[in-house]
Structure 1
């Protein structure tokens, strides 16, 4: 036990909220890249689409799990 929590509780917390916070941070980084490169609307869309496809699976997994459990 670490700080009164089991390893399963800690890993469950960070798999849910830690990765979610990391996704928000990555969106900030992609926005900064689009802003500094003066990509315009279409260029920013391509950056968000290309770099953001990686974590859409994680978000879809959460939605699918919620839907199946209700």
Structure 2
């Protein structure tokens, strides 16, 4: 136990909120890359779609876990 939390509780917290914070950071980074490279509307859309598919997979995993737990 660390600070009164089990390893499972700590891992669950960081897999949920830590990865969520990382996704927000990646959104900012992709926006900066699109702006600095002057990608245009189409290029920016493609960059965000690529990231969006990863985010969709993460959210789908969380939903499936919630549905399948007893």
- TM normalised by structure 2 equals 0.82
How big is each residue's C-alpha offset from its partner over 1:25-59, in whole Å with a ceiling of 9 and x where there is no partner? 11111000001011111110011112442232001
Q: Shift of residue 3 of structure 1?
A: 1.1
Structure 2: which 5+ residue stretches go unaligned? none
Aligned residue number for residue 33 of structure 1: 33
Aligned residue number for residue 17 of structure 1: 17
RMSD of the alignment, in Å? Answer: 1.6
Q: Which residue of 2 aligns with 1:46?
A: 46
In structure 1, stretches of 5+ residues that fail to align are none
Q: How many residues align?
A: 68
